[in-house]
């Protein structure tokens, strides 16, 4: 029993340390974002004819070197594509324009590139659409837990679940910050999945305690 309590205490201390280090990392190093979520240059290429993606990739790599590049088809006609890079100089854009026109035999006078500078997407902008739904969901779940496990203590069960949700999400954010894991399109789905896993784990635990309580009461 003492060994179990000791292990739990060590786990709690480790979690607290990770969260503290995570908070420090967020303020000192800031969060790391994927290319699409950070400030970047989006180059829309309108070729007006079918293209080969491998050829586009080859030309882009010749122009931008080893930089991270994301390719997205713009229209269903397979004649336009968006090339996203961290930053593009005027020389690189001109070079890209020249190479694409030579490859696809397009007139030098024709405009085929549209360059857009896209600003950095802030963390609060990513979270904002989820705030109200998550608050409503949390209130409903907490109300259900309070009523369902009334015999276990309404305040105790609600506080336990709420604290677990806060700590688990804080721990996830801290791990992301400390390990410099890029925040991208999968970050919020993972956070929501963790949210539901914690609820399921907590409910299973409450059910076991409730069943045990009922057995004890029946023996009296």
Q: Are 62 and 99 in contact (CB under 8 A)?
A: yes
List Cα–Cα distances, 120 to 32, 38, 40, 126, in angstroms: 11, 4, 8, 11
What distance in Å separates the CA atoms of residue 127 and residue 129, rounded to the nearest whole number? 6
What was the pLDDT predicted at 79?
A: 87
Task: Give 155-210 pLDDT, tens digit per residue.
Answer: 999 999 999 999 999 999 999 999 999 999 899 999 999 999 999 999 999 999 98
189 and 151 co-located in one domain: yes
Residues 101 and 126 in one domain: no
DSSP, residue by residue, 125-182:
HHHHHHHHHHHHHHHHHHHHHHHHTGGG-HHHHHHHHHHHHHHHHHHHHHHHHHTTPP
Residues 27 and 127 in one domain: yes
Task: Say what the pLDDT of residue 220 is.
Answer: 63
The domain boundary residue, chosen from 52, 87, 118: 118
Q: Which of 22, 35, 37 is nearest to 180 (CA)?
A: 22
pLDDT beyond 80 at 24: yes
Same domain, yes or no: 128 and 113: no
**Half-sphere exposure in the Cβ direction for 80 (13 Å, CA):** 13
User: Could you tell me if 56 and 72 lie in one domain?
Assistant: yes
Residue 166 and residue 213 in one domain: yes
Query: Phi and psi at residue 83, in whole multiples of 5°?
Result: -115, 120
Residues 18 and 54 in one domain: no
Cα of 198 vs its chain's centroid, Å: 18
Percent of the chain with pLDDT over 70: 96
94: CATH: 3.30.70
Please give the Cα distance from 63 to 59 (Å, whole number).
6
Number of domains in the chain: 2
CB 119 within 8 A of CB 33: no
Q: Looking at the whole model, is its pTM more than 0.75?
A: yes
Given 70, 87, 118, which residue is the final one in a domain? 118
Helix (H) / strand (E) containing 71: strand 69-73
pLDDT digits (tens, 9 = 90+) for 126-149: 889 999 999 999 999 999 999 999
Among 118, 151, 183, give the residue marking a domain's end: 118
Shared domain check, 172 and 83: no
Q: Which tens digit of pLDDT belongs to each residue from 63-90?
A: 999 899 999 988 777 889 999 999 999 9
Claim to verify: residue 93 and residue 128 sit in the same structural domain: no
Find the mean pLDDT for residues 35-47: 92
Q: Which SS3 state, helix, strand or coil, does residue 94 take?
A: helix
Instruction: Tell me the residue range of the domain where 65 lies.
Output: 40-118
Are 183 and 129 part of one and the same domain? yes
Same domain, 58 and 11: no
């Amino acid at each position: 029993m003492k060994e179990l309590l000791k292990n739990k205490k060590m786990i709690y201390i480790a979690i607290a340390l990770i969260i503290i280090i995570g908070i420090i990392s967020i303020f000192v190093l800031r969060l790391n974002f994927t290319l699409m979520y950070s400030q970047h240059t989006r180059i829309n290429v309108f070729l007006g004819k079918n293209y080969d993606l491998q050829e586009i990739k080859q030309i882009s790599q010749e122009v931008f070197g080893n930089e991270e590049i994301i390719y997205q088809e713009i229209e269903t006609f397979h004649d336009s594509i968006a090339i996203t890079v961290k930053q593009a100089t005027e020389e690189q854009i001109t070079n890209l324009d020249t190479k694409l026109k030579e490859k696809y035999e397009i007139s030098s006078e024709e405009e085929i590139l549209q360059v857009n500078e896209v600003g950095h997407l802030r963390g609060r902008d990513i979270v904002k659409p989820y705030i109200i739904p998550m608050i409503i969901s949390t209130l409903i779940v907490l109300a259900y837990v309070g009523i369902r496990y009334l015999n276990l203590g309404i305040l105790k069960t609600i506080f336990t679940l709420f604290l677990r949700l806060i700590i688990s999400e804080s721990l996830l954010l801290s791990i992301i910050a400390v390990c410099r894991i890029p925040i991208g399109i999968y970050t919020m789905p993972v956070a929501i999945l963790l949210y539901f896993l914690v609820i399921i784990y907590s409910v299973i635990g409450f059910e076991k305690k409730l069943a045990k309580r009922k057995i004890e009461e029946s023996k009296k």
